[in-house]
Amino acid sequence: ALGELEQIVNRLESGSLPLEEALGEFERGIQLARQGQAKLQQAEQRVQILLADSEDAPLTPFTPDAE
């Protein structure tokens, strides 16, 4: 979905689309952005639930090099 949204943005920024096609692309972009926002909100809620369930568990900072 993110890749499609990036393609839509590129097409809209090019300025070469006819008005009707640009409006259709804009509508699709809004749909994709809303879907992405909903997924982010769901993920945030899941993280909050997991953190609430494990209040006694110590949290350590994420270090990408530590594998």
pLDDT in tens, the chain (67 residues): 899 999 999 999 999 999 999 999 999 999 999 999 999 999 999 888 888 876 666 667 777 775 4
C-alpha of 10 from chain center: 17
Residue-wise burial string across 15-38, b where 16 or more C-beta atoms lie within 10 A, e elsewhere = eeeeeeebeebeeebeebeeeeee
Query: What distance in Å separates the CA atoms of residue 11 and residue 5, rounded to the nearest whole number?
Result: 10
Segments making up each domain of the chain, as ranges = 2-53
Dist CA 67 CA 65 (whole Å): 6
pTM confidence score: 0.68
d(CA 51, CA 57): 9
